[in-house]
């Protein structure tokens, strides 16, 4: 009887170790001003291996832009959809990214394309109020949530990104 109980608990322990090691869902949350939101975004870009898809309302942050270019140069496929009205002024960084061969489209279908999310390697989604701007890091009250390995949510975001990509115009 004791041997059966020990075997039962052994099987349960192995099951949970396997489940959490190989199929764990990780969630990180950050806020700004401060470094937690910024660090989640920068770390996600730095750790990317295959692809980054970004939907951005406003994109003026040079630090993020330079990291995206570094990721592109190491073979990461990058696509960005940005709001057209918010990214035609002198402070936008989209033209700089385009000059560095980053695929960029501008969306003018809506009053504003107010999305702010990033799909990293098709296994993580970063979303929240955080615009990819200098003010979002240092002056605004913003939030970021990074969800890893929650594939049903990532699939929904990927579908939405592809719709935005399709309906947007190349610059």
Catalytically active residues are 114, 116, 121
Question: Residues 110-113: contacts with CB within 8 Å, 24+ apart?
Answer: 112/57, 112/83, 112/85, 112/86, 113/55, 113/57, 113/81, 113/82, 113/83, 113/84, 113/164
Spell out the SS3 assignment of 58-109: CECCHHHHHHHHHHHHCCCEEEEEEECHHHCCCCCCHHHHHHCCCEEEEECC
Omega within 30 of 0 (cis) for the link into 33: yes
Q: Which two tokens stand for residue 84?
A: 């057209």
Which tokens is 131 given?
A: 């615009």
């Amino acid at each position: 009887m004791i041997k059966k109980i020990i075997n039962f608990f052994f099987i349960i322990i192995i099951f949970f170790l396997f489940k959490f090691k190989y199929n764990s869902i990780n969630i990180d949350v950050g806020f700004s001003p401060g470094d937690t939101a910024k660090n989640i975004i920068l770390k996600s870009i730095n750790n990317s291996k295959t692809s980054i898809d970004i939907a951005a309302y406003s994109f003026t942050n040079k630090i993020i832009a330079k990291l995206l270019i570094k990721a592109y140069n190491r073979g990461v496929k990058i696509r960005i959809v940005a709001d057209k009205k918010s990214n035609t002024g002198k402070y936008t960084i989209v033209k700089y990214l385009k000059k560095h061969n980053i695929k960029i489209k501008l969306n003018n279908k809506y009053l504003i394309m107010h999305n702010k999310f990033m799909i990293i390697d098709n296994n993580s989604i970063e979303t929240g109020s955080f615009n990819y701007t200098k003010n979002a890091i240092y002056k605004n009250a913003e939030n970021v949530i990074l969800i890893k390995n929650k594939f049903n949510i990532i699939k929904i975001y990927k579908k939405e990104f592809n719709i935005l990509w399709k309906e947007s115009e190349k610059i």
